[in-house]
Amino acid sequence: MQNAEWKDENMKILIAIDDTDNMEKGRGTGHLAQELSEMIQEKGYGTCERITRHQLLIHEDIPYTSHNSSMCFMAQVRQEDLPQIIRLAQDFLEREHAPESDPGLCVAAMEGIKSPERLIDFGWSAKKTVLNKDLAYSMAQETGIHLSEHGGTGLGIVGALAGVGLRLSGNDGEFKGQIKIGQENDIYQVSEICEIGGADLVMGLDGTVLHGEEKVLFGRFRKLLLAEGKSVMLVAPLEEKKEGVAWVTCNKKQLRAFGDERIV
Amino acid sequence: MNELFEIKELFETNEKGQACFSKGKDAFKEAQMAAEECLQFAFDVEEELFTEEEERSCYNCRYRRWTKASFTCQGRE
């Protein structure tokens, strides 16, 4: 286990977990991340932001349990509570992970990360190449963050560390769940999507940022991506404008393709 | 050619003995057809769905495991 060095009294931390699920339980790593974030808040340790999912490399040499994706969230906590928060997360993973999984936990105080660019590079590398536990522990030591394994081979530490790096990059991942408003075939103004729906901005596939009064047709998927540190709803031009509506939310395939294009 | 025969043709056995979907990651119609007749199909968790929600497709199944070019089916093993 790599011990962390905590410096700030009120700090933002990133918590990532990976490789906790199996196909029989039908309860994925995202579900566990959600439960963990709720526990942290219920115990009064701080407030947690939304969870992001980060897709890592799909490769036959990586024995991922089901998807090889890592889940990460940010929390604002007090420095003195950090050891308890880590203990809470460790106990939770050891109690809740599926028997055949290899869970890993990474916790990083954002202001305390040494060489954050190296950690971000590690995250991008995990999307392109096969990494191992030795590399992960080495990187955790170099950057001064907590990394621990909690069952099986513990290989999930690689994805957990990568998840923190990718969340830190601000340019990878989808937020868990759909946005807070609307359903398929509804039409919303961009201003509503931002003010009520929780998006920071609405953007076209070509990078065009939509104005507040522009209208968007909701498709079946209404996901937000993490881009430039913001929660972004990605939209595509409608083939035929209808009633002043020129945009439609991207489908899953478009979102994944956009994500693949962002890999550094 | 009947439909069941076509669906059988969608999977081939790879060198590890796994049932591998032969049409890749963009054969949405074929993945739907295969899932429609599959008794093992089960929806994956929300964040891992590949196509639209509620679409019964091998791409959305808990038992598919992505490979570089396609996926293998653990339900057919």
How many whole angstroms separate alpha carbon A23 and alpha carbon A93? Answer: 17
pLDDT-derived band at A26, boundaries 50, 70, 90: low
| Chain A residues whose beta carbon lies within 8 Å of the beta carbon of residue B68 | 58-60
Q: Do A221 and B62 touch (CB under 8 A)?
A: no
Query: Does residue A148 contact residue A157 with C-beta atoms inside 8 Å?
Result: yes
* Residues of chain A above pLDDT 70, percent: 93
In the numeric block, which tokens belong to residue A9? 């009294």
As a whole number of angstroms, the distance between CA A119 and CA A181 comes to 35
Question: What is the pTM (predicted TM-score) of this model?
Answer: 0.88
Q: What is the length of chain A?
A: 264
Tens digit of pLDDT for each residue in A160-197?
Answer: 999 999 999 999 999 998 888 898 899 999 999 999 99
User: Model confidence over A118-175: pLDDT tens digits?
Assistant: 999 999 999 999 999 999 999 999 999 999 999 889 999 999 999 999 999 999 999 9
What pLDDT digit, counting tens, does each position of B17-55 carry? 889 999 998 898 999 999 998 999 999 888 888 887 678
Per-domain boundaries in chain A: 10-174, 178-261
- Beta A245-249 vs A215-217: how paired, if at all? parallel
Rounded Cα gap, residues A22 and A99, in angstroms:
8
- Using the structure block, give the residue that is written with the tokens 């074929």: B30
Residue type, A220: R
User: Residue A7 corresponds to which tokens in the numbers above?
Assistant: 């410096």
Indicate the pLDDT class of residue A25, thresholds 50, 70 and 90. low
Range of the structural domain that residue B26 is part of: 3-73
Q: CB A54: neighbour CB atoms within 10 A? A: 27
User: Among partner residues B45, B65, B67, which is closest to A30 by beta-carbon distance?
Assistant: B45
A251–chain B Cβ distance below 8 A for any pair: yes
Q: Please indicate whether, in this complex, the C-beta atoms of B68 and A58 are within 8 angstroms of each other.
A: yes
Provide the number of structural domains found in chain B: 1
- The CA distance from B50 to B59, in Å, is 6
Tokens matching residue B3: 């439909």
Interface membership of A221 toward B (CB under 8 Å): yes
- The answer to whether the Cβ–Cβ distance between B68 and A256 falls below 8 Å is no
Q: In the prediction, which pLDDT does A142 show?
A: 95
Q: Check: CATH 3.30.70.2200 for A10-174? A: yes
Mean pLDDT of chain A, nearest integer:
90
ipTM: 0.75
**What pLDDT score was predicted for residue A6?**
47
Residue B67 confidence class, pLDDT cut points 50, 70, 90? confident
